[in-house]
Chains A and B, each alone.
Chain A
Amino acid sequence: MPTLATVKKGQRFNVKQVSTSAITSKLVEMGLYVGQEVEVLFKAPFGDPIAVNVGGYVLSLRLNEAELIEVA
């Protein structure tokens, strides 16, 4: 299933689910709750990390953090 690590830039999605992990509670606290509007804006030179618009502000995520966010 598509995650923030796999989707293309410039397209809007909604958070479907955040996979369980040691950092899940932190991700959700940053606004990545189920239903939130997200969009990948740009990526760092090695493709990692990526910058994501999360409901109006910009959050940079490592790929291993982004792949926990399932989107639809």
Chain B
Amino acid sequence: MKYNKIALVGNPNTGKTSLFNALTGLNQHVGNFPGVTVDKKSGNLKIDTHTLELIDLPGTYSVYPRSMDEKVVYDIFSSNTHPDYPDAVCVVVDASNLERNLLLFTQIYQLGLPTMLVLNMSDVAFRKGKKLKLELFQQAYPEAAIVQTNARLGMGLDRFRKALSLGLPERTKTNITLIDVEALEDQTQDTEKRFQEIQALLGDVQTIENKSINKKKVNRLETLFVHPIWGYGLFLLMLMALFQLIFSLASYPMDLIDLAFGNLSAWVQSTLSQGVLTDLIANGIIPGIGGVVIFIPQIVLLFLFLGILEETGYMSRVVFIMDRLMRPFGLNGKSVVPLLSSAACAIPGVMASRTISNWKERLITILVAPLMSCSARIPVFTLLISLVIPKKTIFGFMNLQGLTFFGLYALGIVSALLISIVLKWTIKSKETSMLMLELPDLRLPRWKNVIITVFDKAKIFLLDAGKVIIAISIVLWALGTYGPSEKTNKAVKSIPFPIEKSAEAKSDYDKQVAAVKFENSYIGILGKAIEPVIKPLGYDWKIGISLITSFAAREVFVGSMATIYSVEADDEETKSLLSKMKEAKNEQGAPIYTLASGLSLMVFYVYAMQCMATFAVVKRETKSWKWPIIQLVYMGVLAYVASWIVFQIFS
């Protein structure tokens, strides 16, 4: 068996992915196509005793591309020196839609590679009354091995394997080279010619029992999905359900993970001997890994949801009704789900933007996603609102605190839309924006496909983003634990040792020591160093420290503040922290936390890109450092300017 690398190509919605999943199962992995941001999906396929690489190329209607994803297909087939040029190619075709599908097939067939034509979805063809005279059909493509399958039901896979095992027909015709990718008129002419030939062929070999079968009756479900009121209503309902899932349902496993890692950390600390390595493991590495694993429930839930939307075909209806609304912002109908998910957590949100094929639309979605205030900001908002916003009711029923909360969210959303517009005008793209989207038949989801996708995404996150997150967690741990020893020791010595020998006094002493040690660590020094920069925003060095630690995760802000104000980390934390913060005064004796500084800090958290997990995921999805850095900078600048303005207005 001479094939080492086989490419799988085909139109979208032909069951190509089902076939790929059925053949490779979990033996798939995601790699890289050289020089582009497209994921390369490949898997190991065992035929007899030989293992070969099966590459699932992006679905496309023609070998000539309309997006960067599709250009990969063109590049691979346009030159046999391309690293991924295959030994053989299998074209998956929707048997119920032969006319359109055969365009790509004839383009590939004429390249002269050993070729297999996989006639998939024959059950759908049968239902539509379409019958194919197979022998006559084969005569039109004598050098292609034609295999009938129903990948959804797992039928025909043995025929697929057998065809490869026996070896595909030898090619005798000379290779025809592809037309230049920029020569659009030549391509159009070529396409027209091909369709004439395909039409003539199908006229001879395909019979359609009920001629009016071509007349599509719009089914009831379809009408519901695109209805001006019910269509949006249903979608809104789904989004709320999704939000609830990611927000609340995910919190159960997340709390468990938190607990598990916390216990593991404590166990390590008590079991291993005291020392630097133990501290590193217990307080640096384990929390670091925990900080990565904790995102898994949200990622799983989001991609389960998305997978079902895509598999059933409903997603294309969502795009259909949202397109007109999203276009003015440079976004795509598919941007809604990533953006909404980002209101729970931007990590899965950014990952979900991969479904957007237009590079510019995808990039804009990724760049504005973190502005949708994520759930990690909630502890920060809650703390600050209780601190500086009075518990008043205005207009008789609107709670001022709740209103502020809502206002912060609204600020994020409006900013996201405005920035999208700015990005739309500033980012240059060669891809023309087009819709031209097939609306596939609505069908039940193929669960295997959904599960494999979920598995894939989780794996990608753990391995890619995980590395960055753990690395930064360890760095932050080191900076927070170590500081110039002389200074630290002096500071600790200056705390009066308790005269009382009570447990409470001892615990109080310990907390003060911890606070002082933290203050004098490298993070503390950094915090004090940036104080002049953040003073115009109304902050002091204590807030400065917490801003830095928020890079691990925004909610760490609360924990850091608690340590600095030497508050015990327990249930009473928030209450005692609040009272300590209310009393906090600056050098002039004026309170630090005022309406102005509080609001300013809240606005800072709306805008600043502090979550390095997001940074890591954006780097992965854009396959470069450029965009996450641009994002970090623009959001940082936005945060600083906006906070400054707010502080000036309210003080």
- A binding-site residues for B, Cβ under 8 Å: 12, 20, 22-31, 33-37, 39, 41-46, 48-49, 51, 53-62, 65
Contacts and interface: CB of A to CB of B under 8 A. Distances in A.
A39 B212 CA distance: 13
Contact of B192 (A34, A57, A60): A34
Interface stretch (B95-103, B141-149, B392-400, B513-521): B95-103
B61 to A, nearest CB: 5
Nearest to B232: A45
Contacts of B232: 45
Interface in B71-125: 96-97, 99-100, 103
A29 B103 contact: yes
Nearest to A50: B320
Contact of B97 (A25, A51, A56): A56
B184 A24 contact: yes
A26 B321 contact: no
Given A22-B184, A31-B195, 11 more contacts: A12-B215, A27-B436, A28-B191, A28-B192, A28-B195, A30-B436, A34-B192, A42-B223, A49-B435, A53-B214, A60-B435
Contacts of A44: 226, 320-321, 323-324
Contact of B195 (A12, A24, A33): A33
28 contacts: A24-B188, A25-B185, A25-B187, A25-B191, A26-B66, A26-B434, A28-B195, A29-B103, A29-B187, A42-B222, A42-B226, A43-B226, A44-B226, A44-B321, A45-B226, A48-B323, A49-B324, A51-B226, A55-B214, A56-B128, A56-B214, A57-B97, A58-B216, A59-B437, A59-B439, A60-B439, A62-B434, A65-B434
B295 interface: no
B158 interface: no
B473 to A, nearest CB: 45
Given A29-B62, A55-B99, A23 B231 contact: no
B591 to A, nearest CB: 52
Interface in B402-424: none
B192 A33 contact: yes
A51 B403 CA distance: 42
A30 B321 contact: no
A57 B438 contact: yes
B439 A29 contact: no
Contact of B436 (A41, A48, A56, A65): A65
B64 interface: yes
Contacts of B316: 60
A39 B436 contact: no
A59 to B, nearest CB: 6
Nearest to B228: A45
B184 A61 contact: no
Centre residue among A22, A43, A56 by max chain B CB count within 10 A: A56
A19 to B, nearest CB: 12
A25 to B, nearest CB: 4
B49 interface: no
B432 interface: yes
B336 to A, nearest CB: 14
Contacts of B434: 23, 26, 62, 65
Contacts of A41: 216, 218
B436 A61 contact: yes
Contact of B323 (A31, A49, A53, A58): A49
A33 B194 CA distance: 10
Contact of A25 (B99, B128, B188): B188
A32 B196 CA distance: 12
Contacts of B185: 20, 25
A9 B228 CA distance: 17
Contacts of B440: 58
Given A55-B100, A60-B439, A30 B216 contact: no
Nearest to B196: A33
A63 B223 CA distance: 20
B357 to A, nearest CB: 13
Contact of B435 (A37, A57, A62): A62
A46 B324 contact: yes
A48 B199 CA distance: 30
Contacts of B192: 28, 33-34
Interface in B436-482: 436-440
Interface string B224-239: 0011100110000000
Nearest to A20: B185
A33 B321 CA distance: 26
A37 B214 contact: yes
Contacts of B439: 51, 58-60
A53 B216 contact: yes
Given A55-B99, A60-B320, A23 B214 contact: no
B245 to A, nearest CB: 26
Contact of A61 (B61, B64, B435): B435
Contacts of A20: 185
Contacts of A29: 61-62, 64, 103, 187, 191
A49 B325 CA distance: 11
Nearest to B65: A26
A33 B191 contact: yes
A68 B438 CA distance: 18
Interface in B179-204: 184-185, 187-188, 191-192, 195-196, 199
